[in-house]
Amino acid sequence: TPVAILLSGRGSNATALIEAARDPAFPARICLVLSNNPDAPGLDMARRAGLPAQAIDHRSFGKNREAHERAIDAALQAAGAEAVCLAGYMRLLTPYLTTAWAGRMLNIHPSLLPSFPGLHTHERALDAGVRLHGCTVHLVTEGMDEGPILGQAAVPVLPDDTADMLAARVLEQEHRLYPLALRHFLTQNPATAANGAALVVA
């Protein structure tokens, strides 16, 4: 299945997906890496991996978010994408793109949703005193970090954790979870998917 990746920055989750997709047995082939940020290190990484990589700078569309998303959608279509993975894509999506890709767009979020949607999840997890934290792969819907959960991985919060230490522990699991959840998503039988068979990585 041709899958596109949208990112804004570092691209470590994109790297994990690209590496997983190198295995011929993996059900996704990465057909495009797109960024709203022309300077995203993730774009260079994708180019070095020999993949088509393209920037569509949101700043050239002024305040017109939908025009930016129309350009993204056109690029996704042109690349033949059948599903999209958001991997550190730091722009809120409008209903234009969430509707166009409903049921075919995945996101990874660095918390155990529905706890801590939004930003600064690791600081907030420490402040809340939770003992388990982690990451979630979910389908993208209009509400931010709200769609159906496809998979989660949990990590312990340790007594002397800083936000950076916790973030690193979660990130390691993100890199495991995202390829597994994408594979699960692409290969699950729709007839049994209604059972809510989300993936758990322990």
Two tokens at 125?
């997890």
Strand ranges across the sheet with 83-86? 53-55, 29-35, 2-7, 83-86, 105-109, 132-139, 149-156, 199-201
Two tokens at 115?
């706890």
Can residue 151 be called a binding residue for ligand GRF (CB under 6 A)? Answer: no
How many CB atoms neighbour CB 103 within 10 A?
Answer: 11
Count of chain residues binding ligand GRF (CB under 6 A): 16
Catalytic residue among 68, 109, 122, 184: 109
Residue 11 among known ligand-binding residues: yes
Can residue 11 be called a binding residue for ligand GRF (CB under 6 A)? Answer: yes
The whole-angstrom separation of Cα 126 and Cα 115 is 12
* Type of residue found at 99: T
| Residue from 21, 6, 27, 13 nearest 189 by CA | 27
Per-residue mark of binding to ligand GRF, 36-65 (x: CB under 6 A):
------x-----------------------
Does residue 109 carry a catalytic annotation? yes
Can residue 10 be called a binding residue for ligand GRF (CB under 6 A)? Answer: yes
77 to 136, contacts with ligand GRF by CB under 6 A? 87-88, 108-110, 135
Residues flagged as binding site = 11-13, 65, 90-93, 107
The set of catalytic residues is: 109
Binding site for ligand GRF (CB under 6 A): 7, 9-14, 42, 87-88, 108-110, 135, 171, 174
